[in-house]
Amino acid sequence: MKTNMQMNMQMKRQGQSLRTAARRHRLRQAAVIGLAVFLVLAGALPWGNLGADEGEGKETLALALLGKVIVIDAGHGGFDPGAIGAGGVQEKEVNLAVAGRVAALLRQVGAQVVETRTEDVALADTKREDIQRRVQIAEDAGAELFITVQANSIPQPQYRGAQVFYAAGSSEGKRLSESIQQSMAAVLQNTKRKAKAIENIYVVNKLAMPSIVVETGFLSNAEEESLLADEKYQMLVAYAIFLGIVGYYAEQPVASF
């Protein structure tokens, strides 16, 4: 049995090389943890049908997001509730819940995520300044993607289904939107909507990087309102958005029908 002093000396000798090794492995470890989490998620969910081959293909998918700067914007907040469903569900709360989960999933595979808000606050006193602030955050971050999470509402209560919008003329925005639309169709199994170009949304037109609007569903539809308020459904929506982003970077669909 060693004395305390012998133990200390041995630990000191080992300390230097252990610290160097730890530093060397820290980045790789982050990537491996991200990959593990991704594979667990993909495997644990029966509809997470990976389009890639076994082994190396999966690793490529997960590593595709390493270091990518992505802004996840939870629409509305604070004084601005956004749409409010007939049952009282407020869009700002749904947006925050879904956006937070998307951000967490992206971080797990090594993306550098910037969230415009992580609590129920507006970013300015007026709606106009609030939107400008969100654009500014994306520009300051040097983001590669800007994804705003929203929920839809229209007077006709029968319409439903998640849908992604991109700036007209943006081929990368189109590709990202189509990837997310496809994974939402596969994961949620309740939307046949297609990704669509829009002309006049300030945020997506203002930003140079691919900028898209994910409408997670219609709060004006009673069934979808209760789904969007459900934590498990919020998780599914977030997972679908996440898979769509992975598919975009991997340049291949991750979720399929």
In the complex, the residues that contact Zn ion under the rule CB under 5 A are 75, 82, 150
- Choice between 58 and 101, CB closer to Zn ion: 101
Cβ at position 83, least distance to Zn ion in Å? 6
Contacts of 202 (CB under 8 A, 6+ apart): 131, 135
Query: How near is the Cβ of 199 to Zn ion at its closest, in Å?
Result: 17
**Cβ nearer to Zn ion, comparing 95 with 179:** 95
Q: Where are the alpha helices (DSSP H) in 126-230?
A: 127-141, 171-188, 202-206, 222-229
* Cβ 126 to Zn ion shortest distance, Å: 16
Helix or strand (DSSP H, E) at 2: none
The residue nearest Zn ion at its CB is 150
- Count the neighbouring beta carbons within 10 Å of the beta carbon of residue 172: 16
145-152 and 112-115: which strand pairing? Answer: unpaired
Residue 75 CB, shortest distance to Zn ion, in Å, is: 4
Q: How far apart are CA 149 and CA 100, in angstroms?
A: 10
Q: 114 has which bridge partners?
A: 71
Closer of 94 and 209 to Zn ion (Cβ): 94
